Amino acid sequence: MTTYTTIDSPLGELLAARDAEGISALYLPHGKKPARPHADWVREDTAFDDLRSQLGEYFAGERTNFELPLHLIGSAFQRRVWTGLLGIPCGKTTSYGALATAIGAPGAARAVGLANGQNPISIVVPCHRVIGADGSLTGYGGGLPAKQWLLTHEAQQPQLFAV
């Protein structure tokens, strides 16, 4: 069974879903296709206290890494890309080409970009940290203003990112 809730955030109301394995979706309110709960999802607000708490800490500038069970639902290649995204430190960015190389698929920058765009767990699986090779902001499922907001937010917490 998949449960869902909505979570208020500085970016608007987020739609979250989880199943027995973990968080399976976290959608931003704006972008290419506004997310709606699937017909077979069941609303269960209390099942998301961990996500709600950790997102609150992230938006308050108190958290840089999420410690949540995730259920990455996609092809083997998509899951490889999404797992690679989890390795991009908060406050840092990488390019599609560099991410392709990092996951062992050099030359697959376009495929990485497509998989990145299909990431169903925004913010927690930080697809917003992938930018163009020239440093430009490129497409983002939640809209470029949200991507810019997230990158700016992370850059404003330098004391949290010191190694």
Tell me which residues are annotated as active site.
127
Could you tell me which of 20, 2, 22 has the C-alpha nearest to residue 121? 22
d(CA 123, CA 53): 14
Q: What is the dihedral of CA 133, 70, 48, 15, to 10 degrees?
A: 40
Burial (CB < 10 A; 0-12, 13-18, 19+), residue 132, is middle
Q: Which residue has the tokens 């907001």?
A: 149
d(CA 36, CA 42): 12
Could you tell me which of 1, 121, 4 has the C-alpha nearest to residue 55? 121
